[in-house]
Amino acid sequence: MANVAVIGAQWGDEGKGKIVDWLAERADVVVRFQGGHNAGHTLVIGENVYKLSLLPSGIVRGTPSVIGNGVVLDPWALKAEVEKLTAQGVTITPDVLHIADNCALILPFHRDLDALREDASGAGKIGTTRRGIGPAYEDKVGRRAIRVCDLAHLDDLGPQLDRLCAHHDALRAGFGEPPVDRDALVAELREIADFVLSFAKPVWLMLNEARKRGDRILFEGAQGVLLDVDHGTYPFVTSSNTIAGTAAGGSGLGPSAVGFVLGIAKAYTTRVGSGPFPTELENDVGERLGVRGHEFGTVTGRKRRCGWFDAVLVRQAAAVSGVTGIALTKLDVLDGFETISICTGYLLHGQTLDHFPSNAADQAAVQPVYEEIEGWSQSTAGARSWAQLPAQAIKYIRRIEELIQCPVALVSTSPEREDTILVRDPFLD
């Protein structure tokens, strides 16, 4: 039995929530390994819709769920999300939810700094969610972070607060803001500490024991490979590594534990926020994709930019993340198009490229080279087997496989959990 890591193979919003939920029923534990509450996963279970940002998608099914050390945790966002799901009838107890005690915390002044920087950036705006994710990661690597385990020792925080406030007070002064109110911060942390600590434990130990037992572990990534701080469209990226390799470091398990890597990709392409997007369609076709695909961010509500499938980007994402198989989502959104285009390469200043360049100016300048494929008029919505798909839709999927040099393991044909065609079982690979 293989463990499975689920990662986004585009710019996020690929439908990871549904796929993780679909896999979670057969998993023994689900682990979030990076990101924060800037993630957005929507689960549709029957008539119920659950919108998750921080909690692992397995939580709705009652599957033991872990927030790993690679995540940055906003304690107040956690409490609000737990309360929201509890009101929807989801039971969340320390027996189901486990939080790594070495998680770095997102604090109120991280949110402040995120917004202040974005507002001051003018044309250089990155398009962050303003939730403090980047500043929290900066403090983590700068060795200034307050972590979950520190909530049990708030009276001993003096030296850590000295380092933290020396950094942030100088930044805040540059924006004309007052220094961090240390007493107020400690009081807020004291108020939330017991709630967070009730879920805290050394999850690396728990996960290693689970692995020894042969439990199936499902690793859940946030955002997508094209937002990876190293491999994405820098600087328009998130502040963590989103590739599958992070599942090991962000959970406390070694790289050999990861197993099957399932990359999630839409049958077309979307992006939220700023940054290059070679196949973006700022026309009626792009609008049609957005309307049919209900393309609005789960976390921000922002309208997503839409375009044709970019095989170059997905091939690159699959390569740098070691993807074993692709889950192709939202195939039904393409129903009814007479022709469908796939980006197969780029032109940059008259030269042909078979990969996405690293330089930001070059990324913005590339022009897509398209291949046109005949569309299909029949509906694929709700299909659960190859036999229920139009022949032309199957041809489209097969062509994508050829271009991205990676097999399609799953096909999703609606937000409903069961509307999934299984080609290759990741847990049995």
Question: Exposure string (b/e) for 143-180, b if CB count within 10 Å is 16 or more?
Answer: ebbbbbebbeeeeebeebbeebbebbbebbeeeeeeeb
Query: How far apart are alpha carbons 53 and 40 in whole angstroms?
Result: 5
CB atoms within 10 A of CB 214: 8
**Mean pLDDT of the 314-320 span:** 97
Q: Where are the alpha helices (DSSP H) in 121-157?
A: 133-141
Please say if the pLDDT value at position 307 is more than 70. Answer: yes
Query: How far apart are alpha carbons 106 and 59 in whole angstroms?
Result: 22
Same domain for 118 and 243, yes or no, is no
412 appears as a binding residue in the annotation? yes
Model pLDDT, residue 1 = 60
Question: Exposure string (b/e) for 184-193, b if CB count within 10 Å is 16 or more?
Answer: ebbeebeebb
pLDDT digits (tens, 9 = 90+) for 116-149: 888 887 777 777 778 899 999 999 999 999 999 9
Same domain for 183 and 216, yes or no, is no
414 appears as a binding residue in the annotation? yes
Confidence (pTM): 0.92
| 27 — pLDDT class (breaks 50, 70, 90) | very high
> Phi and psi of 285, rounded to 5°?
-65, -45
Same domain for 287 and 413, yes or no, is yes
User: Which one of 244, 260, 276 terminates a domain?
Assistant: 260
In the 8-state DSSP scheme, what is residue 416?
A: B
What's the domain count of the chain?
3
16 appears as a binding residue in the annotation? yes
124 appears as a binding residue in the annotation? no
Model pLDDT, residue 147 = 98
CATH of the domain at 40: 3.40.440.10
Task: Give catalytic residues, as residue numbers.
Answer: 13, 41, 140
Q: Where are the alpha helices (DSSP H) in 121-181?
A: 133-141, 158-174
**Mean pLDDT of the 256-265 span:** 94
Model pLDDT, residue 5 = 96
CB atoms within 10 A of CB 2: 16
Mean pLDDT over the full length of the chain: 93
Same domain for 168 and 210, yes or no, is no
Same domain for 184 and 204, yes or no, is no
- Domain extent, residue 151, equals 104-196
Residues 6+ apart with CB under 8 A from 192: 75, 76, 79, 151
Residues 6+ apart with CB under 8 A from 327: 6, 15, 19, 262, 263, 264, 265, 408, 409, 410, 411, 412
CATH of the domain at 133: 1.10.300.10
In the 8-state DSSP scheme, what is residue 106?
A: P
303 appears as a binding residue in the annotation? yes
Same domain for 408 and 312, yes or no, is yes
Same domain for 88 and 224, yes or no, is yes
